[in-house]
Structure 1
Amino acid sequence: MDSAPPLTVSQWTGAEARVLRAAKRMSVRSFAAHLGVAARTVSYWESEGQRITPRPDMQAILDQVLESATAEVRYRFALLAAPTAQPMGQDPLRHSDPP
């Protein structure tokens, strides 16, 4: 039995959907297929970030995907979703190029 604590997202936005995809280490296409939506839908959510909230039926699907994720994926989601002290304009989901 998985002993990881449950994670809850009170309101999914494109930003949280992107974090979930990153935590699952899936491409936009594979994540979209996993959710049962078009890849352009996932791309749109991600491009809009905090400005968009998926429909309630999609929110429920995202809830279920997070709930059924492995402990490792939930841990990565929690780390990526946590606010961090990032320089303005830096994307915390992108790796910077080595110096």
Structure 2
Amino acid sequence: MSLLAPPSHDDRPDALVEECLSSLRDLWRSRGENRIARAQAEAAIRRMRSAAASEQADELLASIAARLGAIRTLAPDARQPAIQELAAELRALDPLLVTRPSPPIGLL
């Protein structure tokens, strides 16, 4: 997410993933120094956790959030690869976040 654009606050899982990925891109470009981008990514992850469709998704998001919070403790040259790993895990997690509608019962 660009620093010039306000957060979207769209709580659809795909929009939250994209918002978080955009913030991670900004964080990556800054070599892990952009506190605003990190805070925006953390906020998107918190919203994803509150809307997680399964316990597995919630646990994976908790792990991603913990590692994102630890980015600032890494050596500067280790931050970009760590951010790339987080983004890859978030992309892989995307299908687990989608709540599929259940089929209607009793309708022909």
TM-score (norm 2): 0.33
TM-score (norm 1): 0.35
